[in-house]
Amino acid sequence: MKIATVTGAVQADQLGKTLMHEHLIAGLSGWELDNQAPRHKRADIIKLCVDRVQELQAAGYKTLIDPCPNDLGRDVGIMGEVGARTGFNIICSTGFYNQEMGGNAYWQVRSTWDKDFVDRVADVMIRELTDGAGDEGIKPGIIKLASSHLPMTDYEKKLFAAGAKAAVATNTPITTHTEAILGDQQLDYLTSHGVPANRIVIGHCCGSSDHHYHMDLIGKGAYIGFDRFGIESIRPDEGRAESLLQIIRAGGTKGVVISHDSVWCMRGEMIPANMAAAMSEAPLRFERQIVPKLLAAGAAKQDIDAMLVDNPRRYFAGEARPA
Ligand SMILES: [Zn+2]
């Protein structure tokens, strides 16, 4: 199966070592009203992102997924240019963020009266997946959906139904944002709308210390994201690594993908500058700090390769997971 990157289609076995959730550029809607926050020039953003990608390339990475939804400051043109300059596979997404944090006022209002709302949103995604997004017509290779700390709202359920419809219509995989809870609800909802579990990554599961939560999702056939290494304010890496070791020891490696949720260029000044600077570092924490700890604690090299190479390939190819 061909997988859409921002610079054209590739085969699944060309993905290689893959980070499943990083961001070149992102920002909460409203940043554009902050006339005191610095505005980064496009050329400077591109240069910064090229530098980061080259650091990843030096560490053997070939691919990253930037699952920025359409309403969170997504810029597919910048991704396309960075991909073209580096030869790195960047996979962008189509989708909508949660009710709390997404730029959802237009869609939220529409969802209250439009009887065809789910179809309308599904068509937004299907058009992007088929014809491309932005002025450049760059094709997304993944669908992004999100819930929050709260139970899924009606609006979010409609977005999930739309995402599932687009996923089934175009044979595209889905990745989600969670607050390390409700992954089971997301998975049940998506599979009941026809999306196979092996085409779903439940994101940010490493924020939970609940081993049963992790193994339940893996047991149901989904992938779980250990995709926030380095965001110590939410959960220290030590705890994330400890949970990951538990999963590896329980034979769950086949259901885990890895990343950092770094944001290389944050639009506006939503968070303190020191936090933004930490998030904009090249996402190599897993490689440099976590892998040595896992190996020292008894994980095998194959476990690491499974999470960084085999699982992303299988997920994008739509191959069944090994038993
Ligand atoms: Zn993210």
**What local confidence, expressed as pLDDT, does residue 280 receive?**
92
3 state SS of 215: helix
Q: How far is the CA of 69 from the centre of ligand 1 (A)?
A: 9
Q: How far is the CA of 171 from the centre of ligand 1 (A)?
A: 22
**What local confidence, expressed as pLDDT, does residue 38 receive?**
86
Token duo for residue 308: 């960084």
Q: Which residue is listed with tokens 């909460």?
A: 28
pLDDT for 154-184, tens place per residue? 999 999 999 999 999 999 999 999 999 999 9
Q: How far is the CA of 89 from the centre of ligand 1 (A)?
A: 18
Q: How far is the CA of 143 from the centre of ligand 1 (A)?
A: 13
Q: How far is the CA of 115 from the centre of ligand 1 (A)?
A: 30
Q: Sign of dihedral through CA atoms 110, 147, 311, 219?
A: negative
Q: How far is the CA of 249 from the centre of ligand 1 (A)?
A: 27
pLDDT for 271-318, tens place per residue? 998 989 989 999 999 999 999 999 999 999 999 999 999 999 999 999
Q: Which residues surround ligand 1, an ion (CB under 5 A)?
A: 261
Q: Which letter does DSSP use for residue 287 in this model? A: I
**What local confidence, expressed as pLDDT, does residue 134 receive?**
87
Residue 152 predicted with pLDDT over 80: yes
Q: Who contacts 192 (Cβ-Cβ below 8 Å, separation ≥6)?
A: none
pLDDT for 97-106, tens place per residue? 999 999 779 9
Residue 116 predicted with pLDDT over 80: yes
Do 251 and 322 form a contact (C-beta atoms < 8 A)? no
Q: How far is the CA of 136 from the centre of ligand 1 (A)?
A: 23
